Amino acid sequence: MVKKSNSYRGLIAFLVLIVGLLGACGTKNDENSNNKDGKQSKTAWEKIEEKGEIVAGTSGTLFPTSYHESGTDDLTGYEVEILKEIASRLNLEIKFLEMGIDGMLTSLNSGKVDVVANDISITDERKEKFSLSEPYKYSFGSAVVRKDDLSGIKTLNDLKGKKAAGESTTIYMQLAREYGAKEVSYDNVTNEQYLSDVSIGRTDIILNDYYLQSLALTAFPELNITIHPDIRYRPSEQGIVVKKGNDDLLGKVNEVLKEMHEDGTITTLSKQFYGGADVSVKQDLDFE
């Protein structure tokens, strides 16, 4: 019985040794699966640096953050110029690919683009799926109402039964519906149409980003509209998006953003594109 036990133990030890060797071989093969010469694969930043070019996804249609100068093909805007400056300081060329927001994020994960910027808010949900830079824009939601009577609205609780204009899929229209407003959506119309309808009473309110609404009002001073003085909600922060796990690239982006904050470049760009406002500074406000 003792002899049989020793043989049994020897067999077990032999099998354990074989499994260990196979596991080691498997580990070695896994490490080299993407690199035949046995060297560690290049990181996202190393690939970009070697190529000398960074590819950025943006819309090209969102004023004033990413748009084309009137009558030209020149792409510019607050975030576009931030991206150009980041590339310059990293000694890189930059290539822009214009697409919708869903396409941007899909292209980011597929590796078609390296970074994405298009007034994208930094949220906990996005942090689970992507890596986001330090913020360079702080904003909040506001409301355009009639100037003479504030559309009979004092707080968001007064939206019940009011006609809210906007796009159905936005977070702003979602908020309006949550407060009981009647949704009024449009099929590809200009900002002037939205604002004019509030002015003449066809609709009552437009919920949207404060800085974007401020610029819109400046463009149409003759209309009977204003930004509600007491309605502020959903403070937000915007940043550059990179693929989850590309920490080296994110680190480079954050280093340059920090420099641009410290030397005043971001403040200068903000004032250039946001009518003199510094959106890079977080405001101390009370929110609903």
One domain for residues 49 and 99? yes
Contact call for residues 107 and 48 (beta carbons, < 8 A): no
On whether residue 14 sits in a domain, the answer given is: no
Which residues constitute the domain of residue 225?
Answer: 139-235
| Model pLDDT for residues 223-235, shown as the tens digit of each residue | 999 999 999 999 9
Query: Which residue positions in the chain have pLDDT lower than 50?
Result: 1-33
Model confidence, pTM:
0.74
What are residue 25's phi and psi, to 5 degrees?
Answer: -65, -40
- What's 169's DSSP letter? T
Rounded Cα distance, 83 and 76, in Å: 10
On whether residue 19 sits in a domain, the answer given is: no
* Pairing between β-strand 163-166 and β-strand 182-185 as defined by DSSP bridges: parallel
On whether residue 36 sits in a domain, the answer given is: no
| Model pLDDT for residues 235-250, shown as the tens digit of each residue | 999 999 999 999 999 9
On whether residue 13 sits in a domain, the answer given is: no
One domain for residues 269 and 216? no
Q: What is the CATH number of the domain that holds 101?
A: 3.40.190.10
Split into its structural domains, the chain has a count of 2
Rounded Cα distance, 157 and 153, in Å: 8
On whether residue 26 sits in a domain, the answer given is: no
Contact call for residues 133 and 254 (beta carbons, < 8 A): yes
